[in-house]
Amino acid sequence: MPDSLITSISYISTARSDLETSDFQIILDSANHRNAELGLTGLLAFNGLNFMQILEGPRDNVNCCIRSIEADKRHDGMVIFDRREAQHREFPDWKMAGILLSAEGSDTKLGIDELLSSKWVKPETRKHFVSFKSFGSQAE
Ligand SMILES: Cc1cc2nc3c(=O)[nH]c(=O)nc-3n(C[C@H](O)[C@H](O)[C@H](O)COP(=O)(O)O)c2cc1C
């Protein structure tokens, strides 16, 4: 049943140097709004220097959205490190869950560990975000 397959793309990128925490919330709000229209879901983490995002949904919408994201001047150096097709979404309850990681490596607001412990999240995805969280702890 290829039509029902979900495409997911994961990337890491570097935030524009003057990007602030408040900008992260703005990005997240617009992502939530647009993803609802496009049937996209996922997780976006920011450690003050880099973004890591997994975006999932119908293939054409994911591809279209990732092109917009790549062209966004608020970050650059996007490297897509994972692209897959799957039967199920890993973040079905989130248009775009947002995680702000502090310099100490601990997350604020929504807990990353809690999000990643969902039964839908694949072990590889968990590993990617856990390792991203440890990058954050080296940032300052
Ligand atoms: C790190 C980052 C993640 C983003 N994630 C999303 C997203 O999940 N969905 C989305 O629609 N826009 C996201 N955006 C915003 C898009 O880059 C873009 O501004 C928005 O889709 C509007 O695109 P358009 O001007 O081509 O219509 C993100 C931007 C950044 C910098």
**Considering the domain 2-136 in this protein, what is its CATH number?**
3.30.70.100
Distances (CA, A) of 23 to 5, 67, 134: 33, 20, 22
pLDDT digits (tens, 9 = 90+) for 12-29: 999 999 999 899 999 999
Verify whether ligand 1 is closer than 6 Å to residue 35 (CB atom). yes
Distances (CA, A) of 62 to 25, 96, 128: 21, 13, 19
Residue 1 confidence class, pLDDT cut points 50, 70, 90: very low
Pocket-testing residue among 27, 55, 61, ligand 1, by greatest number of atoms within 8 A of Cβ: 27
Residue 102 confidence class, pLDDT cut points 50, 70, 90: confident
Residue 106 confidence class, pLDDT cut points 50, 70, 90: low
Which residue would you say has higher pLDDT here, 18 or 136? 18
3-state secondary structure of 36: helix
Find residue 107's DSSP bridge partners. 101
What does pTM read for this prediction?
A: 0.92
Give the pLDDT confidence score for residue 87 in this predicted structure. Answer: 96
Task: For residues 85 and 9, give the distance between their C-alpha atoms in angstroms, rounded to a whole number.
Answer: 9
3-state secondary structure 56-75: EECHHHHHHHHHHHHHCCCE
pLDDT digits (tens, 9 = 90+) for 67-86: 999 999 999 999 999 999 99
Give the pLDDT confidence score for residue 137 in this predicted structure. Answer: 54
Task: For residues 140 and 131, give the distance between their C-alpha atoms in angstroms, rounded to a whole number.
Answer: 17
Instruction: Work out the number of other CB atoms within 10 angstroms of the CB of residue 61.
Output: 18
pLDDT at 36 over 50: yes
Give the start-to-end residue ranges of the domains of the chain.
2-136
Q: Output the average pLDDT for the chain.
A: 90
Task: For residues 82 and 63, give the distance between their C-alpha atoms in angstroms, rounded to a whole number.
Answer: 13
103 CA distance to ligand 1 middle (Å)? 25
